A and B are shown apart, each in its own frame.
Chain A
Amino acid sequence: MIPSRFDYHAPGTLEEAIGLLERHPEDGKVLSGGMSLLPVLKLRLGYSTQLIDINRIPDLDFIRETDGALEIGALAREADLESSPLVADRFPILVDTSRVIADPLVRNRATVCGNIAHADPANDQPATMLALGAEVVALGPGGERTIPIEEFFLGPFMTALEPTEIVTRIRIPLPGPRSGGAYRKLERKVGDFATAGAAAQLTLADDGTVASCGLALTNLSGTSARAADAEAFLTGKEPSAENAGEAGRLAAAASDPAEDWRGDVEYKRAMGRVMMTRAILEAAERAAAD
């Protein structure tokens, strides 16, 4: 399969890239890992006549700790998350997530920021970033702005980004003591999108109850969003099997899955409940050991 014709640009700086987007606000498209964009162009599900490849812009591939936050740069690959000691130590939920995205070869190219910016509700990072309360940092002609992740996803493949903005990094606040997170995904085979996925991030109080939590599901609604009912239920309670199960049920009940070859609506809700319950229990175990 061959994409339709486009011009290819390889800017050396972010400013140059934004200048190109300003010149082509309608059909300019940013190419980072390309693991979603190139298949879209090849299958002609979408098109762009101006491809702006940011891979030659230096110093965007960082995973670093800055001002009490983990920062993931626009060119950090999913495989980099898997092998980062900082991430393994502080954010096991990110290792869980990156390990089940597509396959190892795809993860050598696919970027974490691209997984967010593409805003495919079937992507795995959106749920994890919602659970973590991340922020998206975008750069545009007017400078930089920070978008809370809850305000980032507007619909399937639709985000709060302006056509002339580029996601330069994701910021995730470092969790306090007794925190833990986990991501669980049911997939038919390696490389498939989730039948159902769930992200849970918890902080425990001294008495072992849940002081605060972030919960979100993957591929069970048109737009990635936090499972607010389930979060409200779980906060202040012990992360017991029973409470985790009820939070899972609430999250699944609020979801809106579409029937496809991965299953019907009832099955997907049921699997969403199971994945969320498991993610909460694993997150609680990690938080208790933190």
Chain B
Amino acid sequence: MATHQIRVTINGEAHERTVDSRLLLVHWLRDDLRLTGTHIGCDTTHCGACTVLLDGKPIKSCTLLAVQADGHELRTVEGLEQNGQLHPVQEGFWEKHGLQCGFCTPGMMLTASALLERNPSPSEAEIRRAISGNLCRCTGYVNIVKAVQHAAEKMRST
């Protein structure tokens, strides 16, 4: 079949659509649902700008078909903030100046939030490994690591 009825929970909200087989998840999110916080960088599975969480795990949404997400749960950067409160990772990026141009930031924060879910006290090496599929061309990563450490501390203390 060339089109499919899909139902996907995104940031806690169910979305139903009919999509083409070949529609990429990132294009569905951005062009149809207008969730434009998910960026398109390289479009070749390298850069991680299009990172979203699929059932809690970071994946590259330029390399998943929208139809593959049917029945699954997604979180995009728009879903990090809860009830007007920034996620600790977002606060960390704010406090530690974890971005310059900001293009990689949504993907970087989603990967970091997934890391902290499974490992609340990551070492610097573990943080660097976790974000090694998310490329940043501005910061040199130093402040990104500090931002994740800041978020980890905050999450442990609350």
> Which residues of A does B touch, CB under 8 Å?
1-10, 34-35, 38-39, 41-43, 51, 53, 55, 79, 102-106, 108-109, 190-191
Contact = CB atoms under 8 A, between A and B. Distances in A.
B2 A105 contact: no
Contacts of B4: 8
B52 to A, nearest CB: 10
A55 B68 contact: yes
Q: Please report whether the interface of chain B is mostly helix, strand, loop or mixed according to DSSP.
A: mixed
B118 to A, nearest CB: 9
Contacts, number: 85
Contacts of A41: 22
Contacts of B60: 105-106
A35 B63 CA distance: 7
A53 B6 CA distance: 15
B63 A34 contact: yes
Interface string B1-34: 1101000000000000000111010010000000
A2 B22 CA distance: 7
Q: How large is the interface on B (under 10, 10 to 19, 20 to 34, 35 or more residues)?
A: 20 to 34
10 contacts: A1-B43, A5-B22, A6-B22, A42-B44, A55-B68, A79-B57, A103-B48, A108-B58, A108-B59, A109-B63
Given A35-B45, A105-B58, A109-B59, 12 more contacts: A1-B43, A3-B22, A5-B21, A5-B22, A7-B1, A7-B21, A34-B64, A104-B111, A105-B48, A108-B58, A109-B63, A190-B133
A8 B133 contact: no
B156 interface: no
Contact of A7 (B2, B43, B64, B70): B2
Contact of A8 (B62, B67, B130, B132): B67
Contact of A42 (B21, B43, B70, B134): B43
